[in-house]
Amino acid sequence: MSCPCSQFLPIELDRESVRKRINKSRRLKRELELLAKDDSGEHKLFKCPKCGKFWQASRAWSWGNEEYLFETPSIDPAEWTALPFEQPDELIVFSAVMRDYYERNSFETTNTPCRQESCSNFAIRYSVLCEEHHIAKLQDGRGLVSRPVGRRLPFYK
């Protein structure tokens, strides 16, 4: 009997796709072998014993903290435990917040050099930093959402 893994493509980065995957993950999970859990207990790494594909189970906080599965590249469980993959649901939230931020703000470049050490870009209007460093400073100070933590999935460059 074949496994159902081939029926699960990478999750499209939209809310409905995450909801559908949450609903379908229970069935897929029954076919998989648990390889590892991260220290937080939020993430689990699975492998299909039939086709060898790797899957990460994570919880989608904005979807009621429901668990869902998404395919990952092959990885050593010890390496994965140290740093699981970025979650598609968190990428959706991050993208929406950043899109809104960019729509509400303009980043007019000035003739003033960025004050970030070793940066050769010019500062943006109303800041002493270039756009990249201005955004990073806001994210560091928690004034703006940061990119989700985790290994990057090749499907979501």
Closest to 87 measured CA to CA, from 133, 25, 33, 35: 25
Record the tokens describing residue 121, joined without a space: 């870009």
Which pLDDT value is given to residue 82?
Answer: 94
pTM for this prediction: 0.82
Find out whether 89 and 58 touch, Cβ atoms under 8 Å.
Answer: yes
pLDDT score for 52: 96
Question: Tell me: the pLDDT tens digits for 58-83?
Answer: 999 999 999 999 999 999 999 999 99
- For residue 118, what pLDDT is reported? 93
Report the amino acid identity of residue 109.
T
Backbone angles phi, psi at 45, to 5 degrees: -110, 130
* CA 41 – CA 34 distance, rounded (Å): 13
Which positions of the chain have pLDDT values less than 50?
none
Whole-angstrom Cα distance, residue 64 to residue 42?
13
Tokens matching residue 99:
């899109």
